């Protein structure tokens, strides 16, 4: 992550310096893995699409939180957690461009009563399958 962004985020209060906590990072990664695994086992249909989308999004966000805690920072909102993932060097880096759209869909679900479509749920599951597991491997190597 760029140091100038970190300084700005600390100054604006969306990041707080914290002591690195490897156990917390491990716990966050494990929680994200388990949550995504359980969620992917839910049968996808019009009634479950919103739940599936939101839970997979939360697993992705948790990975962003884990990355920031590993670096010694506590995020104060989910936007910064998602932002933290964008500079990772993964095989399908172009897919990280979907994170902003996922964030907007999640916002609409939580605050505007929006219902996710089955296509949106399938897309975030595909993102998790292609990128989430690789992000986990990267984070685990760093610990």
Topology given in CATH for the domain delimited by 21-142: 1.20.120
pLDDT of residue 121: 98
Under a CB-based contact definition with an 8 Å cutoff, are residues 36 and 59 in contact? yes
DSSP category for residue 44: P
Per-residue pLDDT of 10-55, as tens digits, reads 999 999 999 998 999 999 999 999 999 999 999 999 999 999 999 9
Picking from 48-62, 74-88, 108-122, which range would have the lowest pLDDT averaged per residue?
A: 74-88
Percent of the chain at pLDDT above 70?
100
Domain ranges of the chain: 21-142
| Alpha-carbon distance values, 103 to 60, 75, 115, 117, 135 (Å) | 10, 15, 14, 15, 18
Q: pTM to 2 decimals?
A: 0.92
User: Using CA atoms, how far apart are residues 58 and 39, in angstroms rounded to an integer?
Assistant: 11
Per-residue pLDDT of 84-107, as tens digits, reads 999 899 998 889 999 999 999 999
CB proximity list for 82: less than 8 A, separation 6 or greater: 60, 61, 64, 99, 100, 102, 103
């Amino acid at each position: 992550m760029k140091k100038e962004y970190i300084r700005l985020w600390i100054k604006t209060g969306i990041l707080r310096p914290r002591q690195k906590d490897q156990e917390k990072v491990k716990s966050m990664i494990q929680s994200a893995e388990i949550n995504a695994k359980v969620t992917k086992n839910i049968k996808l249909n019009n009634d479950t699409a919103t739940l599936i989308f939101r839970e997979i999004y939360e697993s992705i966000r948790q990975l962003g939180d884990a990355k920031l805690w590993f670096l010694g920072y506590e995020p104060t909102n989910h936007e910064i957690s998602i932002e933290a993932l964008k500079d990772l060097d993964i095989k399908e880096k172009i897919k990280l461009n979907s994170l902003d759209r996922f964030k907007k869909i999640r916002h609409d679900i939580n605050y505007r009563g929006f219902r996710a479509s089955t296509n949106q749920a399938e897309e975030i599951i595909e993102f998790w399958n292609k990128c989430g597991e690789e992000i986990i491997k990267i984070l685990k190597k760093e610990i």
